[in-house]
Amino acid sequence: MPLVPESRAFPSRMTRNERSPSGILVLVWARLSRTPWRDLGFTRPRSWPLTIVAGIVSGIAFKLLMKSVVMPLLGADPINHAYHYLAGNTAALPGAILLMIVGAGFGEETFFRGYLFERVGARYGRGAGAKAFAVVLTTLFFGVAHLQGQGLAGAEQAMFTGLVFGTIYAASGRIWLPMIAHAAFDLTALGIIYRDLETVVAHWFFR
């Protein structure tokens, strides 16, 4: 994202995905290197409707599980302070939605799953061991990428999501399901923050 002055509508904290290599640049690299897009996971799913529905439902459920069970067990603050400025912030909502879909769903999945898995596969092969190594490596990278902007809790959550999305991608070889689930996960988080329900959801099971 371009740098913009700090304001309630366009806070500088919305630029977290500037640190994530753009999915577009990965696709440009693929063209220049003559890497088939299918090697990045861009292959037709067996069923588009099923993939879309499964991605949306699993992404929402996964976020609610993380917010209400996993993160409280890890002792995380119920409030995501890096994004709490979005609570009730209607002016910032369109940009935030675009960021979650394009920057996270498309951009992060294309890089962390598509590109990095392809690079590991090119170096170590396509066997089960190489795929397991790719899952572990990308999970660590994904966690570290969120550490500076969102702190330890953000890095912990990113490692859980990276592990799940990476495992799905390793098992299927298709990027669409983790991409849709990732976008749904982040949009669910956005909805919780916007409605100022973080503490409520975090205390569903633990007081």
| 10-residue stretch averages of pLDDT, the chain, 207 residues long | 38 44 89 97 97 98 98 97 95 94 95 97 96 97 93 96 98 98 98 98 94
108 occurs within a structural domain? yes
150 occurs within a structural domain? yes
pLDDT confidence of residue 22: 77
Residue 196 φ/ψ region, left for φ over 0, alpha for ψ in the -120 to 50 degree band, beta for the rest: left
- Quote the tokens at residue 22: 């753009």
Distance separating alpha carbons of residues 203 and 197, to the nearest angstrom: 10
4 occurs within a structural domain? no
69 occurs within a structural domain? yes
12 occurs within a structural domain? no
How many domains does the chain divide into? 1
pLDDT confidence of residue 21: 56
130 occurs within a structural domain? yes
Predicted TM-score (pTM) of this structure: 0.91
Distance separating alpha carbons of residues 162 and 156, to the nearest angstrom: 10
pLDDT confidence of residue 182: 98
8 occurs within a structural domain? no
Task: State which residues form the domain around 161.
Answer: 45-202
Number of residues in the chain: 207
In a 10 Å sphere around its CB, with 0-12 CB exposed, 13-18 middle and 19+ buried, how is residue 44 labelled? exposed
